A and B are shown apart, each in its own frame.
Chain A
Amino acid sequence: MSLGEARQRHGRSPWNSVRLRGVALQVLLLAVIAALFYALALNTYANMASRHIVSGFGFLWRKSGFEVSFSLIPYTAEDNYVRALMVGFLNTLLVSALGIWLATALGLAIGLMRLSRNWLASRLAAGYIEAVRNVPLLLQLFIWYRLVLTPLPQASSAIILGPAALSNKGLTLPAPQFGPGVWTAWLGLGCALLLTVALSFWGQRRRERTGVKPPVVLLSLLAIIAVPVLFLAAAGWPVTFDYPVRGNFGFSGGMTLVPEFIALLLALSIYTAGFIAEAVRAGIGAVARGQGEAALALGLKPGLAMRLVVLPQALRVIIPPLTSQYLNLTKNSSLAVAIGYPDLVSTGGTILGQTGQAIEVVAIWMVVYLTLSLLTSAFMNWFNARHRLVGR
């Protein structure tokens, strides 16, 4: 601000003062924003009055009266709108979480393939990336929806795979029903997690002392699966399965993964994987070549050099674009509305159509997605700070 101060000293009129002009500009901006909001509010009020719409969130406790095709929690048309939105929100979370997991695995694989020294592998990965990134996601979603739905038979001639059944109504699986003793499983899971922490400490110390790395990951996985099962068995096995029963129009009972869900999951993860692959490639390209060469010179095998030396350093560069890809995937899951998977936007749209409460429904959408965005970026910032290279 030294320049500004110099001007302030030499200026004769107060308008030559940078600070004063700054204040004036900001006051003006605030006034314009306030006036804009005031005008919008006035118009909205008048328009809503003329259309007989009552504002407020009271409508949320009315009976919804519509069914959804897929829900993680018990829901019927008798429940209220809050529960319908809850169903949609959980469906959004489910498809986003699974999609992020799949897209990361696939994107990492394609990104590494793109960097492979094998010409064919590298070119194929490049072709995948170009094809996926240059075709609109909505079109890909339609294509996957057709590809998933077309070969499936009617429910009356479903393909039976043991206790599961596959038809154009989706993949029907036995649903676990939990009895009163199910808390033992959670207790077991808690114990298993504690055991995992202990195992990793033990593994670290043993490795430092003997130089041999015990199979900590394998043992941890085993513990996480086995301990809750043992606890459940000790409690007299309070889990039963609700097997699907074939009726006249498809199956009743059990739980069904609808084809819309499968198509959306495929489209989201395959699309996002193309972007993640590019992020992975850029991140690995940003690691100095000498790092990988030094690792090879030290006698590490190529796979280990990549895993232990190059990838951890590349991660610092990869994390920021990865964050935005995860956010994009979550936001893109709202395309569900185009094929009728009941996510937050889809159920909200139905409610909007029934009640006409546009402002309230849009506000709910915005708050939920903004919260998800802010939470994800907060987590990623924390992760980023932890993995930052110190002293460079």
Chain B
Amino acid sequence: MSASYVRASDAPLRPPPRGHAGPLAWLRENLFAGPGSTALTLGLGLLLGWLAYQVLDWTVLRAVWTGADRSACAVPGAGACWPFVWEKFPQWVFGFYPLGERWRPVLTFLIGAAALAPMLMPAAPAKRFNALFLLVAYPVIAFVLLGGGVFGLPPVETTNWGGLVVTLVVAVTGIVLSLPLGILLALGRQSELPVVRGASIAFIELWRGVPLVTVLFMASVMLPLFLPSGMSLDKLMRAIAGLSLFASAYMAEAVRGGLQAVSRGQREAGLALGLSRWQTTAKIVLPQALRISIPNIVGIFIGLFKDTTLVLVVGIYDLLGIINAGLQDSKWAAPQTANTGYFVAALIYFAFCFAMSRYALFTEGRLARTGRR
């Protein structure tokens, strides 16, 4: 055999066969795979194009951008009424919070964001300290800043709170209060002691079985009856109490899922090392369980954030409540005012919830990669 058949160099790379790579092939495979697929693509494409045009037409092309009152927007054929949003937006964020004091909610929000950001980043240090600050110190700071009455801050009644501030206060307080209660309930539900387990199950199933609207009604009309005479909670606090009890039942179920995912060996190893039951639970089982349940806890927070809208049923002006109330303003009475208000509300809620659900997905993916599930 002659060695002349042996190649001295690599054969030149040839392009892949046409129709198997490149954008055209991608199109054929994913959009025009057959007559059925092509018809589906065309039909849905038309629908999407029509929808996109309608939205663009309404929000931009036919929209009214400037004006001082309804006369600008009450034009036949006009689209979104943006001047209404420009005028009302500060109220949507701050409610009836006094104008000169509005730096206080802003500062509260900034402190919260500054403490929360390193909490959400897995690489950031001092998680334990940070969590303690967020769960214990921050609510106190926030209520002092928002409510005032001490350190020379003029008091601001909760009836003047409103808008996005109330939405955030209710959602954050709800989660901060319901997390410890939920952990206790989840541990109680796993307990070997029949009374503890029974009481936990009864509590959890009671709240999970009833709609939030009835819980809020209950908090607003029954709670005053339960309290000793002379002691009273204002409307906002009652709603927060109801919402927290409601959320704690769901939180308990999320934490229970995490507890069940921690392998038995972890607990047994802790006991074998001579740790007491409480030490084993607090130092070995719970940290792992909470880590696993982070995506579900974020999910519950999203639910809670959306559910805060229901407080308008008991007469509290959260973001949706105040937008809804602003629609009654005769100064802006025009056919498209309400649609514009709801459109902006939907955008704000979507931005918050979508960001949170992406974060839940991210932690979920991280857990899956580290093989902790």
Contact = CB atoms under 8 A, between A and B. Distances in A.
B31 A118 contact: yes
A352 B217 contact: yes
Nearest to A356: B221
Contacts of B78: none
Interface residues of A, number: 54
A131 interface: yes
A232 B4 CA distance: 96
Interface string B185-219: 00000001111100100000110111111100110
Contacts of B310: 138, 335
Nearest to B38: A118
A352 B306 contact: no
Nearest to A28: B195
A297 interface: no
B45 A120 contact: yes
Contacts of A373: 208-210
Interface in A119-159: 119-121, 124, 130-131, 133-139, 142-143, 146, 150
B345 A139 contact: yes
A253 interface: no
Interface string A367-392: 00110011000000000000000000
B195 A26 contact: yes
A260 B158 CA distance: 32
B86 interface: no
B54 interface: no
A26 B40 contact: no
A284 interface: no
B324 A142 contact: yes
B200 to A, nearest CB: 10
Of B302, B306, B312, which is in contact with the most chain A CB atoms at under 10 Å from its CB?
Answer: B306
A43 B302 CA distance: 36
A338 B343 CA distance: 19
A308 interface: no
B328 interface: no
A210 interface: no
B260 interface: no
B159 interface: no
Contacts of B312: 138, 338
Interface in B333-357: 335, 338-339, 342, 345-346, 349-350, 353-354, 357
A47 B194 CA distance: 35
Interface stretch (B63-71, B107-115, B143-151, B226-234): B226-234
Contacts of A345: 211, 213-214, 217
A133 B346 CA distance: 11
B210 A26 contact: no
A29 B324 contact: no
A139 B346 contact: yes
B56 interface: no
B37 A134 contact: no
Contacts of B48: 120, 124
A168 interface: no
Given A352-B217, A362-B218, A374-B209, A26 B193 contact: yes
Contacts of B229: 43, 46-47, 50
A289 interface: no
Contacts of B210: 331, 365-366, 369-370, 373
Interface string A325-339: 000000111110110
B350 A331 contact: no
A349 interface: yes
A45 to B, nearest CB: 9
Contacts of A44: 225-226
A43 B225 CA distance: 7
B221 A135 contact: no
Contact of B206 (A47, A121, A358, A370): A370
B211 A359 contact: no
- B interface, size bucket: 35 or more
A198 interface: no
A146 B342 contact: yes
A119 B30 contact: yes
Nearest to A369: B210
A175 interface: no
A245 interface: no
A50 B217 CA distance: 21
Contact of B320 (A25, A48, A139): A139
B211 A362 contact: no
B17 to A, nearest CB: 21
B277 to A, nearest CB: 8
Contacts of B257: none
B40 A136 contact: no
Given A44-B226, A118-B40, A334 B306 contact: no
A121 B40 CA distance: 8
Nearest to A27: B195
Contact of A135 (B45, B209, B349): B349
Contact of B225 (A48, A118, A119, A370): A48
Contacts of B222: 358-359, 362
Nearest to A345: B213
B353 A338 contact: no
B307 interface: yes
B153 to A, nearest CB: 32
Contacts of A335: 213, 310
Given A22-B193, A25-B196, A358 B221 contact: yes
Interface in B13-56: 30-31, 33, 37, 40-41, 44-45, 48
7 contacts: A43-B227, A118-B37, A124-B48, A134-B353, A135-B350, A142-B320, A146-B339
Given A345-B214, A358-B218, A373-B208, 8 more contacts: A43-B228, A47-B226, A137-B306, A137-B309, A139-B320, A139-B342, A146-B338, A146-B339
Q: Which 6 A-B pairs have the closest CB atoms?
A: A134-B353, A119-B30, A331-B211, A26-B195, A373-B209, A136-B306
Interface of B: 30-31, 33, 37, 40-41, 44-45, 48, 192-196, 199, 205-206, 208-214, 217-218, 221-222, 224-229, 271, 277, 302, 306-307, 309-310, 312-313, 320, 324, 335, 338-339, 342, 345-346, 349-350, 353-354, 357
Interface of A: 3, 18, 22, 25-26, 29-30, 33, 40, 43-44, 46-48, 50, 116-121, 124, 130-131, 133-139, 142-143, 146, 150, 331-335, 337-338, 345, 349, 352, 358-359, 362, 365-366, 369-370, 373-374
